[in-house]
Structure 1
């Protein structure tokens, strides 16, 4: 059984940094993001960790975990969003009190995906993989990114449909912001390994593969126990994105996930766009995807709207999804089924 948080109209957002915080010279970015959310009708509360950064982390692991616990237990806060991802979130997971996690939305991506997946696997509470706070600091939001709020206000038993973007950003240009922050200049095309139309159906799980692979063998990555307790006999659609791995490391990581049993009863895999897919001796990302399709005998879609080449869809861990891909375009309908 999956539990879905509610997002009330008068929402208070808690901003905490379980991974990287914001250095003093970038505080204006955080202030602007908070102001934009307030202009959209939200109340924003920033924790201390959001404003600090030292040696690849916002604060010591114990402090980061304590602030996350406080915000999870704060009844005034309905949504938690980190400023952005980072490197060392995994350090603080053992300090999170998962026995007291309420049904409250946590939204983010990159390093944050470790916290998102851990919450869903350990508690059966849905979490949201999508935008982080810094990416919604623009005057406007592009149509794809803006769907985060629609997705998070979907009620249990209802469904929400998202479409592939029209265009995506190839490279960050932080010194040249646009009204929606991103520079969406490249035509989006969802691709399939088979080259044919694809349809898949199952429960969603996923995040940044660089990060999630490190949950294997820990109390925070027991996918088998989650299946048995919360979604018995239901297939899983994995959505995965690559931040920094070359193709050989990506392949090693995916084989590790397979050997750990994560891809058992897999209905298909969705791979996000990535600038990191540097070929190793001619071994390309497309080769990686083809090898996975052959091994698992499931449909595989790639270059979807997920990860570090925005914009990105909002994927809800635990939700039931139907995915259709044809002619370079994709449609994903998420049903909030218990």
Structure 2
């Protein structure tokens, strides 16, 4: 069975950077985010890795893993939200202590999705593909971003309905800050291959396909074992975002997922940005 963590209203948020840290000139973004969360009643604890960045990563892989392991095992920390994604989280993967992970939420996207998928596949603990810490620094959050707290606070056995965004951001405009962080200028449009309406049921797995495809063939990407031990072979809905892959590379990655058996028992595939 899947294990679902629960987020209390006055939870302590641990901030660590298993992928990229934050350069000194952008430290104010982290401080703004922490202040916003503290205004909402949370307590925020930042690790050392958050404040450094060198050669496309916050710090050496062992330091990143040790800090993440410590926060996951710390009973005083209830949820972990990295500052943002990055590129080299995979370096720390084999140094994480999956056997000792406690039942708490880990939330993020982009490179963090590698960590989220690995945790869920290895342990059966649900993870949250959602906002990064930096995205919570605004005066207010758009409806899609703001729902993270309600989702993570849903009781086991209860349900919550999520809705698609009305608009999305085409590109970052850091030189023109927005009160809600994102510049929501483009209309969200849903399309299906068949052009018909689609109804599907299943367990959600996924993330940034550029990143999670690297779990194929490793001990951290055993989808078959996950389906057997945690899903009782319930169907899977894959959600995939394509950050940088060109069309042919995306195609190769999807075929590789198929050959690895990742689409066995799949009832639907959803694509986000591409």
Write the mapping of 1:276-287 to structure 2, written as runs, cut at 5 A. Answer: none
Deviations 1:225-261 (A, max 9, x none): 0011011221100000011111111111111111100
Write the mapping of 1:261-300 to structure 2, written as runs, cut at 5 A. Answer: 261-274=261-274
Q: Which residue of 2 aligns with 1:48?
A: 48
Q: Distance in 2 between matches of 1:107 and 1:140?
A: 19
Write the mapping of 1:1-338 to structure 2, written as runs, cut at 5 A. Answer: 1-274=1-274
Q: What SS does the aligned partner of 2:161 have?
A: strand
Q: Distance in 2 between matches of 1:135 and 1:44?
A: 15
For residue 175 of structure 1, report the CA deviation from its aligned partner: 1.1
For residue 119 of structure 1, report the CA deviation from its aligned partner: 0.6
Q: Distance in 1 between matches of 2:11 and 2:116?
A: 20
Could you state the TM-score of these two structures normalised by the residue count of structure 1?
0.80
Deviations 1:158-202 (A, max 9, x none): 111011111111121011111101111111111111111000000
Q: Distance in 2 between matches of 1:49 and 1:170?
A: 29
Deviations 1:68-103 (A, max 9, x none): 000001111111000000000001011110001111
Alpha-carbon contact 2:243-2:273 (below 8 Å) kept: no
Q: Distance in 2 between matches of 1:273 and 1:63?
A: 32
Alpha-carbon contact 2:109-2:129 (below 8 Å) kept: yes
Q: Distance in 2 between matches of 1:134 and 1:158?
A: 29
For residue 62 of structure 1, report the CA deviation from its aligned partner: 0.4
Moved over 3 A (4+): none
RMSD value over aligned CA atoms?
Answer: 0.7
State the number of aligned residues: 274
Q: Distance in 1 between matches of 2:97 and 2:229?
A: 19
The gaps in structure 1 that reach 5 residues or longer are: 275-338
Q: Distance in 1 between matches of 2:177 and 2:42?
A: 23
Could you state the TM-score of these two structures normalised by the residue count of structure 2?
0.99
The gaps in structure 2 that reach 5 residues or longer are: none
Alpha-carbon contact 2:66-2:96 (below 8 Å) kept: yes
Q: Distance in 1 between matches of 2:171 and 2:53?
A: 25
More strand by share: 1
Q: Which has the higher contact order (CA 8 A, sep 6+)?
A: 1
